[in-house]
């Protein structure tokens, strides 16, 4: 068994959960009320495949158990400066993160089970409204790209 790292790995996933009607699920951060986002999370281990990270984070943050076939790797990545408020979670000197974007198409809106230590509220919004509500520019941009990646739930 690999040892647990004491610092977050600066490689993460962003998972846009959506419906064929372009409704997007957003969740509100517990540590920053008013900060709405899609599912996000870092790799647990340096060798954890990004798809596994995406599937794990979706289940941890929403209770949705997705299959690998439902998860779509958008083959987009964003490099960004880690917000100063969260840098203590990373090794000293780490200031940048690379985020890999995935999409998860569900047949319809559904209820979610939030992890209360991470998120306090959730909501489904039309994709443009969801993009406006996101605090993260890269999350908003990914949501606005959603029509390009729209995938049938039968895929």
Going from N- to C-terminal start, the domains of the chain cover 11-149
Could you tell me which residues come within 8 angstroms of residue 87 by beta carbon, excluding any fewer than 6 positions away?
A: 94, 95
Write the pLDDT tens digit of every residue in 104-130: 999 999 999 999 999 999 999 999 999
Where does 11-149 sit in CATH, by number? 3.90.79.10
Helices (H) and strands (E) in the chain, counts: 4, 7
Average pLDDT, the chain: 93
Higher pLDDT, 135 or 153: 135
**Cα distance between residue 24 and residue 50, in whole Å:** 21
pLDDT at position 86, please? 87
Residue 19 has pLDDT above 90, yes or no: yes
Select from 31, 43, 133, 39 the least CA-distant residue to 83: 31
User: To which residue do tokens 């076939």 refer?
Assistant: 69
d(CA 142, CA 72): 13
When pLDDT is cut at 50, 70 and 90, the band that residue 155 belongs to is very low
């Amino acid at each position: 068994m690999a040892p647990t790292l004491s610092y977050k790995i600066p490689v993460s996933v962003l998972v846009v959960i959506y419906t064929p009607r372009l409704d997007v699920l957003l969740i509100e951060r517990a540590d920053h009320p008013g900060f709405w986002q899609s599912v996000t999370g870092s790799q647990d281990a340096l060798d954890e495949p990004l798809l596994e990270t995406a599937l794990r984070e979706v289940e941890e943050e929403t209770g949705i158990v997705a299959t690998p076939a439902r998860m779509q790797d958008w083959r987009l990545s964003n490099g960004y400066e880690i917000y100063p408020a969260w840098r203590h979670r990373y090794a000293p000197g780490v200031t940048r993160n690379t985020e890999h974007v995935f999409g998860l198409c569900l047949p319809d809106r559904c209820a979610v089970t939030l992890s209360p230590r991470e998120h306090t509220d959730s909501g489904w919004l039309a994709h443009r409204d969801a993009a406006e509500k996101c605090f993260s520019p890269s999350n908003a941009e990914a949501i606005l790209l959603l029509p390009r990646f729209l995938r049938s739930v039968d895929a």
